[in-house]
Amino acid sequence: MQSLRFKAIDNLESVKEVDVKAPTKITTIFGENVFTLKVARQYLSDEAYKSLAGSIKNSKKIDRAMGGQIANGLRAWAESKGVTNYTHWFQPLTDLSAEKHDSFFTLKGDGTPIEEFEGAALIQQEPDASSFPSGGLRATFEARGYTGWDPSSPPFIMEVGAGKTLCIPTIFVSYTGESLDAKTPLIKALVALDKAAVDVCQYFDKNVTKVTATLGWEQEYFVIDAGLANARPDITMTGRTVFGHAPARGQQLEDHYFGAIPERVYAYMRDFENESYKLGIPLRTRHNEVAPSQFECAPIFEEANLAVDHNTLLMDVMTRVAKRHGLKVLLHEKPFAGINGSGKHNNWSIATDTGVNLLAPGKTPKTNLMFLTFFVNTIKAVHDYSELLRASIASAGNDHRLGANEAPPAIISIFIGKFLTDVLNQVETRVGDKFDEQDEAMLKLDIHKTIPELMLDNTDRNRTSPFAFTGNKFEFRAVGSAANCANAMTVLNTIVADTLKTFKKDVDALIDKGDKKEIAIMQVIQKYIVESKKVLFEGDGYSEEWANEAAKRGLPNVKTTPLALDAYIADKAKHLFEGLEVYNHAELEARHEIMLEAYIKKVQIEARIMGELATSVILPSAVKYQNVLIENIKGLKEAGLDESGYSSQLAIVKDISKHIAAMGTGVKAMIEARKKANEITDTREKAIAYCDEVKGKYFDEIRYHVDKLELVLDDTYWMLPKYREMLFLR
């Protein structure tokens, strides 16, 4: 029987490119499946529209009566587009979205069939929470959880094949009100940031009444032929290859980055982009990435909560649309060993309702001081809470990437470029001096005149930095490609909010003592630069020297997820999150537990699939081929040849035996290690055991022998598609 591998390779010949119907102008389809305020205006009464708009713009609560009217309008709109069902769409702690569909169709008390959508159904639902991760927050006897409408993210229609469903973005909380999702804490963090930043903005501009965080994510991904992917049980089960010898050609030719996009992938991209446009996801950029078969897309940035929803939605759309093209999209952080992994760069900034980007250098001394304030506060926040930022990006998948000399290291540092380093140095060297009126020149900082220099810094910016300033925003580059970026955004916005709050206290204290406002601000900025400058690093983040230097500076370098997650339950974190009402203690403990459990399960599944493949796929192939060689040697001997006539064959026979034995020993020992780990009741200890004793001790070891077997076995005996096939054939 032909193996799946060769069937898939044969099938590649007959792949037909999908005809993608693209609009001539994106604007003609953009947002057509979104219940925007503009659409709402056509479907709602004045009263209902005002209520919805007020809720979106000023976070005003929508009352139940209005909810009914809005629900009616929503249904009318959705039905005009052929929708029969609706669902609350939420993001439980699985990195994926969840839905539970209900139809508008119902029976009245007397049996009359009607279509309806009640306000209550729009505002709140009760999915069974027991099937989602809850970290012990939901006792088994109380399985109820609530989803609650988030009006700040507009409802949309999801088209799957011919089916259309109205999706209402919601939060997801337990019966007792604790968050069980990615969105609830993010919204709370954004509220905290808004408040703290508006307070600080008052020093510079009294007109500012609202500050929002902006997010533009860059999504990296791999696309491979679905037939080849299906012949790899490891990809199906874990999203990555647990075995596979490096291909003769990897990314060393550096010919993929920004190269021409392969046609089949190009059709796929246009297809998922169109689907995304209809959903209002403002995709803008597409290109090849560094590794073969690796690509990236990025949208125009949006308000952070909406941007997170759009990213979650995009990952879903990408996965579904790939099927149409006979492709498989891999969002895993490290699908292939030996070539680059994938990240999700989070470009982040903060903007006022007066239209100012607070991280864009200004044009006047006053706006420069405002820029410097937010710039330095962000640096201080990252410095003070770097462990927490590290924790926010920790996952089994991302562990392969962080510190693997191709992605930002696990050490959190900030790159700001030469020009701003000089500016901070100028401010800092005045330590001890009291700023006075003569420091007007200092306050000017002439930043606006040197935008070209900033641009220069930006263009040759440091790709090895996990957190880089890129001209008018920070780019958090260490986020994992498969992650829900809400985690990283919740932490980042919370720590900046907290730092800004302290900043205001510090400045006010000096003003109370009689300092002039600008002088007080400058003094505090100077103090913060001194206190946090050790987090700044302009050099090569991949280098050994940096790891040593960072250790000397006392910067944490936590390489694995189980330990990185400790930061979430440290007193410092509890104090921070509770103080800003983002997480209470119980929620933090629960999240910690959930993330550890996710880690354990992922490593466990990988370990199982490794064992299974080694025993039931690799070993039989190796034995079959070995027998062929043995038969051959026997025959040659009978024909009267001496050892020189079959020495190569014999060497391979011995080699195969050696690797089979070592592989078998490794698998057996790994199973034992797993059994031992499973007996551990403390989740953290268990995760550490899975990390160090199961994965750390055996994964690479087993893989080494399997990959060697791949190299020596007759190619036709090898069942799993090889790297060269997955990465270069489409």
Site residues for ligand ADP per CB under 6 A: 214-216, 218, 285, 298-301, 347-349, 357, 472-473
Q: CA-to-CA distance for 622 and 559, rounded, in angstroms?
A: 36
Q: Which does 153 bind (CB under 5 to 8 A by kind): ligand ADP, Mg ion, none?
A: none
- Cβ at position 408, least distance to ligand ADP in Å: 14
**Cβ closest to ligand ADP, residue 471 vs residue 611:** 471
H or E element at residue 383 = helix 365-384
The CB-nearest residue to ligand ADP is 216
**Cβ closest to ligand ADP, residue 132 vs residue 474:** 474
- Cβ at position 346, least distance to ligand ADP in Å: 8
Q: Which does 472 bind (CB under 5 to 8 A by kind): ligand ADP, Mg ion, none?
A: ligand ADP
H or E element at residue 288 = strand 283-288
- Cβ at position 582, least distance to ligand ADP in Å: 21
The amino acid sitting at 186 is L
- Rounded (5°) CA angle 481-554-430: 105
C-alpha distances in Å from residue 538, one per residue of 415, 418, 421, 542: 5, 8, 9, 12
Q: CA-to-CA distance for 402 and 397, rounded, in angstroms?
A: 9
Q: Is-contact 167 86, C-beta < 8 A? A: yes
Q: Which does 300 bind (CB under 5 to 8 A by kind): Mg ion, ligand ADP, none?
A: ligand ADP
- Cβ at position 341, least distance to Mg ion in Å: 16
Helix extents (H) in 85-222: 119-123, 183-201
**Cβ closest to ligand ADP, residue 297 vs residue 633:** 297
Q: Which does 481 bind (CB under 5 to 8 A by kind): Mg ion, ligand ADP, none?
A: none
Q: Which does 40 bind (CB under 5 to 8 A by kind): Mg ion, ligand ADP, none?
A: none
Q: Which does 301 bind (CB under 5 to 8 A by kind): Mg ion, ligand ADP, none?
A: ligand ADP
- Cβ at position 15, least distance to ligand ADP in Å: 31
x/- string (CB under 5 A) for Mg ion, residues 317-346?
Answer: ----------------------------x-
The CB-nearest residue to Mg ion is 345
**Cβ closest to ligand ADP, residue 213 vs residue 521:** 213
DSSP single-letter state for residue 433: S
**Cβ closest to ligand ADP, residue 168 vs residue 468:** 468
Q: Which does 103 bind (CB under 5 to 8 A by kind): Mg ion, ligand ADP, none?
A: none
Q: Tell me the CB-side half-sphere exposure of residue 163, using CA atoms within 13 A.
A: 8
**Count of residues of this chain found to bind Mg ion when the rule CB under 5 A is applied:** 1
**Cβ closest to Mg ion, residue 35 vs residue 348:** 348
569 is written with which tokens? 């339950």
Q: Is-contact 709 622, C-beta < 8 A? A: yes
The amino acid sitting at 306 is L
Q: Is-contact 536 379, C-beta < 8 A? A: yes
- Cβ at position 461, least distance to ligand ADP in Å: 8
3-state secondary structure of 140: coil
Q: Tell me the CB-side half-sphere exposure of residue 68, using CA atoms within 13 A.
A: 2
**Cβ closest to ligand ADP, residue 463 vs residue 697:** 463
**Cβ closest to ligand ADP, residue 472 vs residue 678:** 472
Q: Which does 68 bind (CB under 5 to 8 A by kind): Mg ion, ligand ADP, none?
A: none
Q: Which does 171 bind (CB under 5 to 8 A by kind): ligand ADP, Mg ion, none?
A: none
Ramachandran region, residue 354 (left: φ > 0; alpha: ψ -120 to 50; beta: rest): alpha
- Cβ at position 491, least distance to Mg ion in Å: 20
- Cβ at position 381, least distance to ligand ADP in Å: 16
Q: CA-to-CA distance for 53 and 66, rounded, in angstroms?
A: 12
Q: What is the largest CA-CA distance in the chain?
A: 105
Q: Which does 184 bind (CB under 5 to 8 A by kind): ligand ADP, Mg ion, none?
A: none
The amino acid sitting at 163 is G
Q: Length of the chain, please?
A: 730
Instruction: Determine how many CB atoms are found less than 10 A away from the CB of residue 553.
Output: 15
**Cβ closest to ligand ADP, residue 372 vs residue 719:** 372
434 is written with which tokens? 């009291």
**Cβ closest to ligand ADP, residue 463 vs residue 559:** 463
Per-residue buried b or exposed e for 111-137, using 16+ beta carbons within 10 Å of the residue's own CB: eeeeeebebebbbebebebeebbbbeb
Q: Which does 214 bind (CB under 5 to 8 A by kind): ligand ADP, Mg ion, none?
A: ligand ADP
17 is written with which tokens? 């490119």
Residue 315 CB burial class (10 angstroms; 0-12, 13-18, ≥19) = buried
**Cβ closest to ligand ADP, residue 304 vs residue 670:** 304
Q: CA-to-CA distance for 115 and 269, rounded, in angstroms?
A: 37
Q: Residues 6 or more apart from 567 whose CB is under 8 A from it?
A: 387, 388, 390, 391, 573
**Cβ closest to Mg ion, residue 344 vs residue 504:** 344
- Cβ at position 283, least distance to ligand ADP in Å: 9
- Cβ at position 218, least distance to Mg ion in Å: 5
Q: Tell me the CB-side half-sphere exposure of residue 460, using CA atoms within 13 A.
A: 9
**Cβ closest to ligand ADP, residue 41 vs residue 284:** 284
Q: Which does 349 bind (CB under 5 to 8 A by kind): Mg ion, ligand ADP, none?
A: ligand ADP
Q: Which does 357 bind (CB under 5 to 8 A by kind): Mg ion, ligand ADP, none?
A: ligand ADP
Q: Which does 557 bind (CB under 5 to 8 A by kind): Mg ion, ligand ADP, none?
A: none
Q: CA-to-CA distance for 420 and 471, rounded, in angstroms?
A: 10
- Cβ at position 475, least distance to Mg ion in Å: 5
* Strand pairing category for 474-476 and 344-352: antiparallel
Per-residue buried b or exposed e for 454-481, using 16+ beta carbons within 10 Å of the residue's own CB: beebbeebbebbbbbbbbbbbbbbbbbb
- Cβ at position 416, least distance to Mg ion in Å: 15
- Cβ at position 466, least distance to Mg ion in Å: 13
- Cβ at position 301, least distance to ligand ADP in Å: 3
Task: Quickly count helices (H) and strands (E) in the chain.
Answer: 27, 17
**Cβ closest to ligand ADP, residue 371 vs residue 599:** 371
**Residue numbers at the binding site for Mg ion (CB under 5 A):** 345
